Structure 1
Amino acid sequence: MIALDALGPNGSYRTRNRLTITDVAGGPLAELSLVPPLFVTRAMATLRKVRPLPLDKRVTALMEAGEAFATGEVDGMTAAEYRHTVSRMSGMPMPVVRAAAESIALRAASAYDNLQAARPVGAVNDWRDPRTGRGAAGWIRRGEVFAVHAAGNHPGVHAEWLEAVAAGYRVAVRPSRREPLTPYRLVSALRACGFGDDQVVLLPTDHGVADEILRRADLGMVYGGQEVIDKYAADPTILPNGPGRSKILVTGDWRDHVDLIVDSVSAQGGTACVNTTAVFVQGDPGPAAAAIAERLAAIPSLPPEDDKAVLPVYPLATARVMESYLLAKASGARAHLGGDGVVDELSTGGALLRPAVFELADPSAAQARVELGFPCVWVVPWTREAGVAPLRDTLVLTAVTEDEGLLDELMAEPTIRNLYIGDHPTYLMAPGVPHDGYLGEFLMRSKGVIRD
């Protein structure tokens, strides 16, 4: 099996307490070392004592590490072996894993530029800047140590915290138990390309020790469900990332936008927070739901490591639990696809979760907020009188409309964090476009500077 050791400030560390990581069929793939509280305490204290690499070395090392991660051999594992293992471990379709690796490389190379996109126009990066002679704002870190409680639903989540590395934070990552290989490989690549062992660490822990990593850091980023959002909502030092509940609104003829809808629902295996959860159409939602269902039903059932795979695969027991949850939540909704179940067992082990399409009668129905880790969409009627209310609490809203008054309202609504106008899929992540605000807004702050 693959040994996924802790990566502490003094190098790799193999613990006695190790967790077996299985593939989707239940076969053992790796052993993950789980560190005790004292190891966490000492590691975090070490991160706080060291200084960051100089900026030019950070930028170069990040670019080289991203390239090594995506295409090279890291800790004895080739890029092809990494992709295959992650696909079997997480159940993510191979094309999604490949695209995520490329995205991580791109984000590593552009991490500092992305960070700079958040810098206020009146702020400077260095007190030596000539503008400080007449008074300006210096843009500085809010702390020194950054902690990440990573998610395992998609490898691409690890592209985000690279901006903290670019900013000069020393970073501690607690990997997900579902898929710890991606952060292990990324931290290993960063170390191999110039970051010291005391600059970025991987601290796998059990749940009882996890919060200690956050307590010992200055700032932290966590991933999880609504319960995670609720737990950390009032803590200004923690940035929680939870359900996206991304949506599409079509006020005209939906027939011209079926490709957009199906793509937004099914891309990334339907597992990401930017996948479409609900589609609001002006008029009768039934024909739209039927057309979407017909297209999604044609997606083939393939094992995750297949180059043409689209749908995510889970251990059979997990898939059955998710299916039961869906069917309970869908009570009262009209099923166009998946009403009799969504689990499709594979001969290679594990089970696909096939797409589901349900039609709702009320734009305010609670089901439209239900987000699951596979292509599942609720098709909902919308009227101008319903307005913005049912569209709130949304990570990405794609609005296909020519109603500029409505667009003004959507743009002003603070709980709609991203607004895409026209035929743009909800999962689109373009350079310079913030994901949920700029991470730099959380990592940095302005400090008044004036000098002789």
Structure 2
Amino acid sequence: MATGSPRPGPRGEAGLIAVDALGPGGPYHSRTRLTITDLGGTAVAELSLVPSLYVHRAIGALRAAEPLPAAERLAALARAGEMFATEPVGGLAVDDYERAVCRISGMPISVVRHATRTTRRALVDAGRDARQALPTGSVADWHDPATVGGRAVWTRRGEVFGVHAAGNHPGVHALWPQALALGYRVAVRPSRREPLTPFRLVSALRAAGFADDQVVLLPTDHTVADEIIKAADLSLVYGGDDVVRKYGDDPTVLVQGPGRSKILLAGEDWHHHLDTLVDSIGDEGGTACVNATAVLTDTDPTGLADVLAERLGAIPSLPPEDDRAVLPCQPSDQAARLERYLLDHAAGTTPHLGGDGITDPVPGGGAALRPAVFEVDRPDATQTGIELGFPCVWVAPWSPADGTGPLRDSLVLTALTHDEALVDRLVDDPTIRNVYVGDHPTYWMRSDTPHDGYLGEFLMRTKTVLRG
């Protein structure tokens, strides 16, 4: 194990929030620690980092442990959901936790609060949501009377599930608890960008009834991160194109990469759908993979870009802790780098909003990331594949002769069209993972429908059990 000692309490040196590793022996405060700062550079928390040996011993303990009985783990998940959303956890009240996440991540406080509610519901309903992937004709337990005479039984593909968590949105932690519902033991590597949410969630799960050898929090540096993936049976990894390239061909890793969600207007007057367009681009500060990053239209793309720029440009720049805040913020140096990246890659396009920059300093430190609208001259322009963590949209022309090629590789495609033959092709395209036909925003979700496939499709398999 790492040099250090278990230690209770939410505060470390200088009053910082202590985000300790949560291993099979309880909280662990290592000597190697990373200071987490807010938007203005003020230290807020201290993250303990664990070495490779600690990781392997922790995952070994998970593998040796037996899962809780199904009814007990579902009840513990529900209790954890209520605790996460309503009670002090790890010494932090809900409001203190949400404000700390807001100041560290730059996410608007309203988005953080919504994620708290979403995570609560996800834990309460984790068993039901996980079972949505149960194949018709199979049962969830070999004790089911249906196995007399032979029946397919849904079983785990492994025992230990590793998670490389993202830090762009606290809501990403609403998914992996389904693995606990299915009997996996789970190892979470928190993002160093925002580790408070997984720390709070794992702490709540333990307080609600999951033993320390059922779910662990393993903060590491980048050199150790891959050890979690190698040691686990199956893993969930979030990231950009570099992560997709690294893990995309590994059958034991489920990659959650860029969304590149789009909207197509084919034979539809965009004037009638402006609210849906604007909301799809700007909901939750434009930080999610389901936000629209490209809009393709067969009618007047220039006019559409002008109107989108007018609507999005009216959003005020506010510090993220302001209840009225809509836009995400970042530390000023990070915001400046993102601005340079955008303007470099927008070369050759027509700016309608953001052509002079997208950063706007806010009180308390950091800069708001203001919306950007750029027009490209062809539907397959490379810019339409650029996804950034704020409201940024590329408006492109499209015609039926362009086909579905420019629409591929989309997590969500909202198709505003009455052309059923076109919809047939979109639904059949394996690179378009969700198709919303009609006036539906790209961020629409419901817990019983898959977002990027059901997690259970990845975690589980069927085997035949015959008894009698």
TM-score w.r.t. structure 1 length? 0.99
1:442 matched to 2:451? The reply is no
Q: How far 1:250 moved relative to its partner? A: 1.2
Secondary structure of 2:295's counterpart equals: strand
Secondary structure of 1:390's counterpart equals: helix
- Distance in 1 between residues matched to 2:373 and 2:82, nearest whole Å: 39
Which residues of 2 match residues 17-96 of structure 1 at below 5 A? 17-96=32-111
The one of 386, 397, 401 aligned to 1:385: 401
What does residue 116 of structure 2 align with? 101
Secondary structure of 2:311's counterpart equals: helix
- Map Cα deviations across residues 249-308 of structure 1 (whole Å, 9 max, x no partner): 112100011110111111111111111100111122001111111000000110001111
1:145 matched to 2:160? The reply is yes
1:205 matched to 2:226? The reply is no
What does residue 372 of structure 1 align with? 388
The one of 149, 161, 171 aligned to 1:156: 171
Contact 2:90 2:200 in 1 (8 A): yes
Equivalent position amino acid for 1:412 in 2: D
- Distance in 2 between residues matched to 1:184 and 1:136, nearest whole Å: 40
**Which runs of at least 4 in structure 1 moved beyond 4 Å after TM superposition?**
none
What does residue 319 of structure 2 align with? 303
What does residue 247 of structure 2 align with? 232
- Map Cα deviations across residues 175-221 of structure 1 (whole Å, 9 max, x no partner): 00000000000000000000011100000000010010111100000
What does residue 181 of structure 2 align with? 166
Q: How far 1:134 moved relative to its partner? A: 2.3
1:313 matched to 2:336? The reply is no
- Distance in 1 between residues matched to 2:398 and 2:366, nearest whole Å: 38
The one of 292, 296, 314 aligned to 2:308: 292
Contact 2:269 2:299 in 1 (8 A): no
- Distance in 1 between residues matched to 2:216 and 2:439, nearest whole Å: 41
Q: How far 1:8 moved relative to its partner? A: 0.3
The one of 124, 132, 136 aligned to 2:147: 132
Q: How far 1:438 moved relative to its partner? A: 0.5
The one of 300, 321, 324 aligned to 2:340: 324
- Distance in 1 between residues matched to 2:69 and 2:284, nearest whole Å: 36
- Distance in 1 between residues matched to 2:180 and 2:273, nearest whole Å: 40
What does residue 217 of structure 1 align with? 232
The one of 421, 432, 439 aligned to 1:405: 421
The one of 402, 412, 415 aligned to 1:396: 412
Which residues of 2 match residues 340-355 of structure 1 at below 5 A? 340-355=356-371
How many residue pairs get matched? 452
Q: How far 1:126 moved relative to its partner? A: 1.2
- Distance in 1 between residues matched to 2:66 and 2:253, nearest whole Å: 23
- Distance in 1 between residues matched to 2:171 and 2:194, nearest whole Å: 12
Considering only aligned residues, what root-mean-square deviation do their CA atoms show, in Å? 0.7
The one of 428, 434, 441 aligned to 1:418: 434
- Distance in 1 between residues matched to 2:114 and 2:417, nearest whole Å: 30
1:336 matched to 2:352? The reply is yes
What does residue 14 of structure 1 align with? 29
- Distance in 1 between residues matched to 2:95 and 2:375, nearest whole Å: 41
Q: How far 1:70 moved relative to its partner? A: 1.2
Secondary structure of 1:173's counterpart equals: strand
Secondary structure of 2:79's counterpart equals: helix
Deviates more, 1:79-88 or 1:344-353: 344-353
- Distance in 1 between residues matched to 2:272 and 2:107, nearest whole Å: 30
- Map Cα deviations across residues 380-411 of structure 1 (whole Å, 9 max, x no partner): 11111111100000001111111111111111
Secondary structure of 2:285's counterpart equals: helix
- Distance in 2 between residues matched to 1:74 and 1:406, nearest whole Å: 50
Q: How far 1:128 moved relative to its partner? A: 1.9
Equivalent position amino acid for 1:403 in 2: D
Equivalent position amino acid for 2:327 in 1: L
Secondary structure of 2:276's counterpart equals: helix
Equivalent position amino acid for 1:87 in 2: C
Equivalent position amino acid for 2:133 in 1: A
- Distance in 2 between residues matched to 1:218 and 1:233, nearest whole Å: 16
Q: How far 1:130 moved relative to its partner? A: 2.1
What does residue 445 of structure 2 align with? 429
- Distance in 2 between residues matched to 1:128 and 1:31, nearest whole Å: 47
- Distance in 2 between residues matched to 1:187 and 1:277, nearest whole Å: 33
Structure 1: 5+ residue runs without aligned partners? Answer: none
The one of 242, 266, 270 aligned to 1:254: 270
1:118 matched to 2:118? The reply is no
- Distance in 2 between residues matched to 1:181 and 1:130, nearest whole Å: 44
- Distance in 2 between residues matched to 1:21 and 1:53, nearest whole Å: 34
Structure 2: 5+ residue runs without aligned partners? Answer: 1-15
- Distance in 2 between residues matched to 1:19 and 1:105, nearest whole Å: 29
Identity, in percent, stands at 61
TM-score w.r.t. structure 2 length? 0.96
- Distance in 2 between residues matched to 1:363 and 1:150, nearest whole Å: 33
- Distance in 1 between residues matched to 2:282 and 2:440, nearest whole Å: 14
Q: How far 1:347 moved relative to its partner? A: 2.8
Q: How far 1:358 moved relative to its partner? A: 0.4
Equivalent position amino acid for 1:135 in 2: G
Q: How far 1:57 moved relative to its partner? A: 0.8
Q: How far 1:348 moved relative to its partner? A: 1.3
What does residue 191 of structure 2 align with? 176
Q: How far 1:431 moved relative to its partner? A: 2.0
Equivalent position amino acid for 2:442 in 1: T
Q: How far 1:76 moved relative to its partner? A: 1.2
- Distance in 2 between residues matched to 1:71 and 1:424, nearest whole Å: 32
